[in-house]
Amino acid sequence: MGGLTAGLLVLGALAAASLFIGVADLTPARLADPATREAAMSTLMDSRLPRTMALLLSGSCLAIAGVIMQMLTRNRFVEPTTAGTTEAAGFGMLVMLLLFPGAPVVIKSLVAAGFACAGTAVFLRLLRAVPPGAPLLVPLTGIMFGGIVGSVTAFIAHRYGLMQSLGAWRNGDFSVVISGRYELLWLTLVLSVAAYLAADRFTIAGLGGDMSRNLGLDYGKTMAVGLVIVSLVSALVVTTVGSIPFLGLVVPNLVSLAAGDNLRRTLPWMAISGAAVVLVCDMVGRLIVAPYEIPAGTVFGVLGSAVFLYLLLGRSTRAA
């Protein structure tokens, strides 16, 4: 419990720092000065606070979605961006933009979640053709499947002049987050709580279908619940801020290496770590080329791909 408290304090410090980093001049002194308080409060409430909350919610829920996928597929190298889930959600958003451009964001997110769920189901079906003794083929299969879906999406987007919108969904860019444009992400908090309540079931499901049924678990229902949580989380994040590749892979693996595989115990750490990593990447993106920004998804994409290769090659070396 003490460790979690320390983790929350560190996360709180990072969140507080995030509030005062950016192009607009926002400092504690300006908030305290009566002459500048109104303008500073406007910047804080309309931009900085929504952005920081979006960072916290996105980072924590993507880490949780990643570990759920790893439990359900029994593979450490699977997460929404290596299983075609994120690409399928983007394809759903493109379909809605083409056919129903005036639909509310909630409806677009639900449709994107439906496409994400279907894409994940196809990926799980493809896994039946992967030999049980070749775990490294699982993420490669997902990456290839996601590449096919992404290519089809890019072709259609190019045909109808929507490449700019497609680029926004593919990059986790929090600079567009303002008050009134991120509130759907609060639903991911509800989904994260649901994942925590079902943590023991997901841990048992990670033992496999036969073992889970022998222990009295409704394996099919647990798989369906996990699939819905992952799909909704992926769709909500993609439609609000875009994709953050490898986050759901790197954070759960590093936390599991340090704290084990008991999901009930490690899930809070994964949420804290995921939120902290995204906060740091976003602040680095705001500072490294100031006054311009590099999207947090791009920053973590570089770092996450390096860690992914390290985990992949390390697993391959140990297997040899």
Give the predicted TM-score (pTM) of the model: 0.88
Residue 92 pLDDT exceeds 70? yes
How confident is the model at residue 314, as a pLDDT? 67
pLDDT band at 283 (very low <50, low <70, confident <90, very high): very high
Write out the two tokens for 147. Answer: 């590449």
Share of the chain above pLDDT 90, in %: 24
CB atoms within 10 A of CB 146: 22
Residue 159 pLDDT exceeds 50? yes
- Give Cβ neighbours of residue 258 (< 8 Å, ≥ 6 apart): none
Residue 22 pLDDT exceeds 80? yes
pLDDT band at 58 (very low <50, low <70, confident <90, very high): very high
Return the sign of the alpha-carbon dihedral for residues 119, 122, 128, 129: negative
Read off φ and ψ for residue 257, nearest 5 degrees: -60, -35
Write out the two tokens for 225. Answer: 């619940």
Structural domain that includes position 99: 2-319
What mean pLDDT, rounded, does the chain reach? Answer: 86
How confident is the model at residue 2, as a pLDDT? 62
How confident is the model at residue 17, as a pLDDT? 92
Query: What CATH number did the domain enclosing 149 receive?
Result: 1.10.3470.10
Distances (CA, A) of 86 to 45, 54, 66, 107: 30, 18, 12, 17
Write out the two tokens for 308. Answer: 């992914």
pLDDT band at 318 (very low <50, low <70, confident <90, very high): very low
Residue 139 pLDDT exceeds 60? yes
How confident is the model at residue 110, as a pLDDT? 87
Share of the chain above pLDDT 70, in %: 96
How confident is the model at residue 317, as a pLDDT? 46
Q: Stretch 270-298: mean pLDDT, rounded?
A: 90
How confident is the model at residue 315, as a pLDDT? 56
Residue 227 pLDDT exceeds 90? no
Instruction: Decide: residue 31, CB within 10 A, 0-12 exposed, 13-18 middle, 19+ buried.
Output: middle
pLDDT band at 102 (very low <50, low <70, confident <90, very high): confident
Whether the bond between 80 and the residue before it is cis, its omega within 30 degrees of 0, is no
- Give Cβ neighbours of residue 275 (< 8 Å, ≥ 6 apart): 11, 55, 56, 57, 59, 60, 63
Domain count within the chain:
1
Amino acid of residue 242: G
